[in-house]
Amino acid sequence: MTRRYWIGILILLATFADLRAAGPVNIIFIIGDDISWDDIGAYGNGKVKTPNLNALARRGIKFTNMFLTTSSCSPSRTSILTGRYPHNTGAAELHTPLPAHMKFFPELLKQKGYYTALAGKWHEGPATKRAYDTLLVNQTKNGEGGEEQWISLLKSRPREKPFFLWLAPYDAHRPWSPATNGPRHDPALDITVPPTLADTRETREDLVAYYNEIARLDHYVGLLEKELAAQDLSENTLIVFTADNGRPFPGSKTRLTDAGIKAPFLVKWPAGIGAGQTCQSLVSAVDIAPTLLAVAGIEAGPTFQGRSFASLFRDPAREFRKYVFAEHNWHDYEAYERAVRTIDFLYVINKRPQLDNGGPIDANQSPSAGALKSARKNGKLTPLQEDAFRKPRPSEEFFDNFKDPSQIVNVIENKTYDGQIESMRKVLAGWQADTGDTTPENLTPDWYSRETGEPLPAKGKRGEMPGASKHADRINAKGPF
């Protein structure tokens, strides 16, 4: 570490100490469901109507290189909650409960005197109940989008304590709601069709419903900010907005390309963060927990594999990570992929190359998937659109993120990149070895037909979890940084 680095850290710690002297920081963590980073206006999508999230970005800091550890709902959330990689949580697969010995960052906040609450989606397992004073998970009371209790929760909190709220809307997870609060979108005028999808009427109507749910979430963010202002809490409340994985469409959700694992990440905290900042530093979702704990003046402890990036709030140009890592495990279908990404390159390995990756069942049985299948019969798909059906898949993929930002062209055979490929092979293998990752032969099988979505005889049967044979849920090594 350089002298400049340590001076910066000392200045940051002194700043946070001064802020906490004026009162503990309140923290609101909003995690959208199945929302891609580029489906927010602040990230350049001029069609989607997200005025409140756009304002959040203008008044705080926008991270442009935040990466999730997986593009799969519950494993992504458990990774954030524990600050650990999915195979290190004991819950690497969809809808697997976290073991009781795990440490959850809201629990540490609670132990230090914070009032902690969760409202909305909750599927991280019963052991996580102890992390919250209040758990509001009744969907009828939370409303179709999961936001109905946000304001009442803020009003009913104990006034003598700082608070942490984990707000987990169902927006924008399928199935779509027939009616939503907030702006509506026109399929002809207000849609940007991603290059992974066919531009058809069915796709545009599918995307309209998705955009409308994002707009509903945005609407409630605006109401939340108004209530904070009414209670004179805006200045010293840190608000985070992010999402758990990419959009629920073929080519995004469950993918280890940027379409799946790159996440929106907006932070507003008037007392501690200057307005209008952008941070391009590479950051991982395992770093979120240590960061929020640091802001609250709490040591994360050895079980957290991430590191605090709170220094970026004051100096967004500072380099942070060199590598981020991600994994794709069972999510409706058998899978085993691992990835390492730098600013420049993405390297992916696939130990089940005989299988396609058209996304989970809600994506591969969607109207947009149907439109892709129809276009495919007529030979009208681009290589990126065709990729959802590709079988077998490459066992290795390598992408140049600057020359190929959509990560279309696999250059693994291009000799020009031999040095970079070999380097990233070693880094990924080192991360797997350090963190106890394994490749079981008897992975959880497909529960549904990849073509029709119909249940298969294996539905309900689980195989061996990656990392289980090495007790990776007890391994705290961070891996390369």
| 99-109 tens-digit pLDDT | 999 999 999 99
**Average pLDDT rounded to a whole number, residues 112-132:** 97
pLDDT at 207 over 50: yes
Please state the domain extents for the chain.
12-320, 325-474
pLDDT of residue 179: 81
Give the CA angle between residues 401, 331, 381 to the nearest 5°: 50
Q: What is the Cα 195 distance to its own chain's centre?
A: 21
pLDDT of residue 17: 52
pLDDT at 4 over 50: no
Amino acid, single-letter form, for residue 196: T
Q: Which residues contact 80 (CB under 8 A, 6 or more apart)?
A: 31, 244, 285, 286, 288, 289
479: nearest Cα among 440, 417, 443, 426: 426
- How confident is residue 22, by pLDDT bands cut at 50, 70 and 90? low
pLDDT at 228 over 90: yes
Tell me the pLDDT of the chain averaged across its residues.
Answer: 95
pLDDT of residue 1: 43
pLDDT digits (tens, 9 = 90+) for 436-479: 999 999 999 999 999 999 999 999 999 999 999 999 999 999 99
The CA-atom distances, in angstroms, between 458 and each of 93, 332, 449 are 16, 11, 11
pLDDT of residue 182: 85
pLDDT of residue 40: 97
pLDDT at 232 over 70: yes
| Radius of gyration, alpha carbons of the chain | 21
- The three-class DSSP label of residue 199 is coil
pLDDT digits (tens, 9 = 90+) for 163-192: 999 999 999 999 999 888 889 999 999 999
pLDDT digits (tens, 9 = 90+) for 79-91: 999 999 999 999 9
**Average pLDDT rounded to a whole number, residues 297-301:** 96
pLDDT of residue 181: 85
Q: Which residues of 256-293 are buried (b: 16+ CB within 10 A; e: fewer)?
A: bbbbbbbbbbbbbbeebbeeebebebbbbbbbbbbbbb
**Average pLDDT rounded to a whole number, residues 106-126:** 97
Quickly list DSSP for 392-421: SPPSEEEEETTT-TT-----TT-GGGHHHH
* Domain 12-320, CATH number (from 3.40.720.10, 1.10.150.20, 3.40.1170.60, 3.40.50.300): 3.40.720.10
- The three-class DSSP label of residue 163 is strand
How far does the chain reach from its first CA to its final CA, in angstroms?
Answer: 13
Tell how strand 277-279 and strand 115-120 pair up.
unpaired
**Average pLDDT rounded to a whole number, residues 306-313:** 98
Instruction: Confirm if 401 and 344 have CB atoms less than 8 A apart.
Output: yes
In angstroms, the CA 380 to CA 325 distance is 34
Instruction: Confirm if 284 and 63 have CB atoms less than 8 A apart.
Output: no
In angstroms, the CA 71 to CA 75 distance is 8
pLDDT of residue 11: 46
pLDDT digits (tens, 9 = 90+) for 353-397: 999 999 999 999 999 999 999 999 999 899 999 999 999 999 999
pLDDT digits (tens, 9 = 90+) for 330-342: 999 999 999 999 9
Helices vs. strands in the chain: H and E counts, helices first: 14, 13
